[in-house]
Amino acid sequence: MVKKLLILFIFFSFITHTITEYDPMGNPILGRLTYGDLFGFLSLILGLHLLVKSFVFSLKINNIFLLSFVLLLLFAVGLPFSLIPIQTIIELLVHLFLVLLSILIFYVFKDVFFTYYIPTIIITALIGALLGFYGILSQMFGLPMLFKVRTEGEALGGFRNAGQAGAYFMVMITMLYPLLQSKLKFRLSNKYQRLLSISVIFSVLFLFITGKIAGYIVFLIGISIYSIFFRNSKSIISILVIVSVLVFLYSNLETISPILYKRIRYKIESRVTSKLDGSSQDDFFESNWGGAIEAFNDNPFIGTGLGAFDGSYRAYEVHSTYLKMIGETGFIGSFGYLLFIGSFLLLLKKQKYFSPEIYDLIKKMRPFVIGCMASWTYTYHVRKREFWILLVFLLIIHYIAKKEYLINKRKKYEKFIL
């Protein structure tokens, strides 16, 4: 039952619409709770007896969950001094929820990685992308809308804004494209091998139609680094196919979907062209990021308190992980983040227990993780469900590698004895 609930949590992770409309003055819980979170809460309740065992077991693989709690503890140091204590409490609870859920996900899926966890991610990315395409079609042909959009021509699917959609699918691509290019994909059933290819294609296409310029940039960073280090014919062909499809789509987009073309053209002109020629009137990031620096200068040790920036310094939260850390948590919280993210990046380091095929996957994920880190410049990733799905993905890879290493070692020893 717990496994089924966790599958539903992962599956609905692309729906970021909350149960009630988010309003700082409204319900502080329902305004932050998504429908997928309900399945997460139920799984935690039913799997409560597994949590301690799950955490202890995870320490045998890696200490990242321990550092997750250290991070939360250092975030909590600022609570007594928070400018908006209730916001800080809610933020801490959201983070704790995701950490506990990740521990449970790791334990439940560690031995069914290729039969349940990966297939769930494949299906989730595919359905999330298809719903985004349906959103555009519904605007073009007057079909029933499943999710409301803020502006005509937006392709959001279950997301509230293009920023969420871009960051989410960059993480999906970080897991799925390297897997598609690795031999580990053959551990999937034939059906899911085919769906993996389809899911990657639609994930890239959906990332394109979101019109999120920052999403384009970080994808370009990831795919460029990948193409430099992995220049085999298979990789080159797949990249050429992706680029060709995107070029064809953009060249014919005005004919295919005028409203989508108009929206993407506007995003390019307002975010890129006007910036380059100096005509832009949009100073959101300058003001937002400047506010984070201001908050840090006012209180360099603990900042405003986690989640207390918006409403104290600016109308919106800090749109950057790195500046959010210094502005809202100061030196203390930023130190905890460095420990945590350092441990996360070490999951990409070569280990003696990696088999060649597992290390091949890890190497191929690195360029896209770099792309994700670039995207975290404009979004806060620690609170995002997809980041923890990625973290568990890497942790289970380490678990599988260690398990297979020990089995092979034992076999060699038994053969030697005989």
pLDDT in tens, 42-88: 999 999 888 988 999 988 889 999 999 999 999 999 999 998 999 99
List phi, psi (to 5°) of 74. Answer: -70, -30
pLDDT given for residue 121 in this prediction: 97
pLDDT given for residue 119 in this prediction: 97
pLDDT at residue 320 is higher than 80: yes
Summarised one tens digit per residue, pLDDT across range 361-395 is 999 999 999 999 988 988 899 999 999 999 999 99
Q: Which of 86, 2, 90, 87 lies closest to 41 in space, CA to CA? A: 2
Band (pLDDT 50/70/90 cuts) for residue 281 is: very low
pLDDT given for residue 283 in this prediction: 62
pLDDT at residue 418 is higher than 70: no
pTM for the full model? 0.90
Summarised one tens digit per residue, pLDDT across range 162-215 is 788 888 999 999 999 999 999 999 999 999 999 999 999 999 988 888 877 777
Q: Which of 250, 267, 257 lies closest to 214 in space, CA to CA? A: 267
Band (pLDDT 50/70/90 cuts) for residue 269 is: low
pLDDT given for residue 190 in this prediction: 95
Report, as an integer, the average pLDDT of 311-337: 89
- According to DSSP, the residues that pair with 310 across neighbouring strands are 314
200, burial (CB in 10 Å: exposed 0-12, middle 13-18, buried 19+): buried
% of the chain beyond a pLDDT of 90: 50
- Pick from 28-37, 130-139, 259-268 the range whose average pLDDT is largest: 130-139
Tokens representing 41 are 């809460």
pLDDT at residue 28 is higher than 70: no
Q: At what angle do helices 48-59 and 64-76 cross, to 10 degrees?
A: 110
pLDDT given for residue 245 in this prediction: 77
Is residue 164 within 8 Å of residue 210, measured between CB atoms? Answer: no
pLDDT given for residue 152 in this prediction: 66
pLDDT given for residue 267 in this prediction: 66
Distance CA 363, CA 220 (A): 18
pLDDT given for residue 290 in this prediction: 84
